[in-house]
């Protein structure tokens, strides 16, 4: 990464930014749909509903969802598929240690429940790379509210001007803008490249490899 870039920390979204977790999420959504007698959805159908938190996910993929009872069913099932059906996105395995070695502080701010994020970080041998992990249960409001980014910056004792947020959705751009943080996005998640471009991030990357070369 170019040493002229002035950021001291990079905070990442997780699903669709660093990991491809859509097969696992779809498996648990379909487990819940089958519980209610509904046909399965495709991974792409589920993907469009990922990124705005678990309640949004279930309310937009399961008819007449019974929240929070159905969340308990999902939460019990998800650990059985989460690890084998989740993989790092191209470039992530090389990028994260390289950024850490450059002296940058790394963190995650994701609408994915923190317990799942932490379990996956451990499974993927990434835990030690991240100084802070913030999930929706840690703040009053999930993204696109700025609460997660503000909480992470407070823990790291950094100003907004020192932080870059990297995500894959319009919601990530909205979150960063609300926190007055610079935002770069990759078109590897729930939103198409055209939608990301229309939301005007500070940079629209082709992939995580572009971040390594920036």
Identify whether 13 is a catalytic site residue: yes
Spatial strand order in the sheet of 9-12: 132-134, 105-109, 9-12, 163-167, 182-185, 203-204
In sequence order, what are the residues at sequence separation of 6 or more whose Cβ sits closer than 8 angstroms to the Cβ of residue 10? 99, 104, 105, 106, 107, 163, 164, 165, 166
Say which of 13, 70, 147, 168 is annotated catalytic: 13
212, two tokens: 């390594």
Annotated catalytic residues are: 13
């Amino acid at each position: 990464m170019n040493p002229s870039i002035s950021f001291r920390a990079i905070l990442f979204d997780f699903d669709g930014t660093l990991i491809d977790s859509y097969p696992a999420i779809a498996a648990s959504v379909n487990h819940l749909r089958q519980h209610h007698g509904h046909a399965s959805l495709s991974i792409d159908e589920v993907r469009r509903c990922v990124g705005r938190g678990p309640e949004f996910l279930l309310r937009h993929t399961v008819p007449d969802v019974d929240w929070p009872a159905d969340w308990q069913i999902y939460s019990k099932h998800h650990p059985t598929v989460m690890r084998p059906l989740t993989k790092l996105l191209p470039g992530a395995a090389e990028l994260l240690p390289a950024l850490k070695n450059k002296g940058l502080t790394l963190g995650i701010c994701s609408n994915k429940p923190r317990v799942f994020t932490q379990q996956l970080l451990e499974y993927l041998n990434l835990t030690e790379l991240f100084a802070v992990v913030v999930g929706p249960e840690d703040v009053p409001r999930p993204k696109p509210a700025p609460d997660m980014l503000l909480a992470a910056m407070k823990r790291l004792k950094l100003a907004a001007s020192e932080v870059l947020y990297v995500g894959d959705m319009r919601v990530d751009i909205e979150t960063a803008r609300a926190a007055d943080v610079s935002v770069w996005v990759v078109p590897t998640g729930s939103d198409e490249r055209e939608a990301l471009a229309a939301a005007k991030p500070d940079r629209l990357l082709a992939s995580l490899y572009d971040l390594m070369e920036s």
